[in-house]
Amino acid sequence: MRISVAIALAVVALSGCGGDEDLSAGAPSPSGGLTVQEAIDSELDGPLLVRGYLIERNGELRLCEAILESYPPQCGEPSLKVEGGELAPSEEPASLLGEVEGDVLGVSEKSR
């Protein structure tokens, strides 16, 4: 498991080399980053690029693995509470750079 996560992170890191893509918070990434579940399971230190959907639930913003078919849109589990950054809910896929601690994704200063 650790090897596959390390390989995924290496691919993410290398995909940014030489390109002009903006990997800021909420910006789509060519490789997309880790799924929410992969980020939760990761034992790596430092910021991770995590992909999902930004859904507001009970007054808090969450990065969700999927969107449930309902109105208003609801978060499919697993999900991470998003702290930091000036982000808005969106049904479009997003990639956020931040540190995962438990069920919280602290968005990095670099990704704001």
What pLDDT sits at residue 31?
56
The gap from C-alpha 92 to its chain's centroid, in whole angstroms, comes to 12
What 3-state class would DSSP assign to 28? coil
- Domain count for the chain, please give it: 1
Range of the domain at 44: 2-111
pLDDT in tens, 46-66: 999 999 999 998 889 999 999
Whole-number Cα distances in Å, 31 to 13, 55, 103: 9, 21, 23
The CATH number of residue 84's host domain is 2.40.50
- What three-state secondary structure class fits 41? helix
Provide the pLDDT for residue 58: 83
CA distances from 29 to 14, 20, 46, 96 (A): 12, 11, 18, 9
pLDDT beyond 60 at 21: no
